[in-house]
Structure 1
Amino acid sequence: MTTHTDQQLNNLGLSEELKVKLLEAAQEHNRSATAEVIARLEETFARDDITEARAIRNALMVELGSVLQAGLTAAEDLDKVQSALQEAQKILDTKLSSTHLSEEDRPRP
């Protein structure tokens, strides 16, 4: 005797082995064969969504790492420039001090 569920599963073109597995899983989860098919399809699509979200997250993490590294490199470069400017200021201050002393030491007309 062909049941309504058997007819639905036959319409899907499932192999006998797959039908048996599906019916056993449906019984184990206390749901109809149709509900089991839907649940498994939804789970598969949810896993795909999770996999895609992870791939996007990983790509963003790589990009963030690159941006942070560039920022660190820029900060290091900025520190070097700042140090060079401070050194230049010291040299300038020294030259200005020596110039002022020399002018003060000169006799005035």
Structure 2
Amino acid sequence: MNDTIQNLYDVIESRKGQHVENSYTCYLFEKGLDKILKKVGEEASEVIIAAKNGQNEETVGEISDLIYHLLVLMAEQGIQPADLQKVLDARAEKTGNLKQFHQVDHNS
């Protein structure tokens, strides 16, 4: 899976700053951060809807779309897959990592 993610990221990164006819990735970079963020939000919503409907094949497709758009966001922000891998590896080493959520005092 890491090779697939890295290879896709490399293709996405290669499209940055280019104009390739009919390239959706180039279109996203040309439109900028706001468009990329909008697409990430849309795809996240579509994952939720597909999962809620219990349609695994559709959910997998939507997750793939979300991952692609997250990789575009990463490339736009200069975040490498290795940066993500480093954080995930560090988290995998932790046990009992249930975070204590901040309790909001509704009386104040």
TM-score when normalising by structure 1: 0.28
Decide which structure has greater helix share.
1
TM-score when normalising by structure 2: 0.28
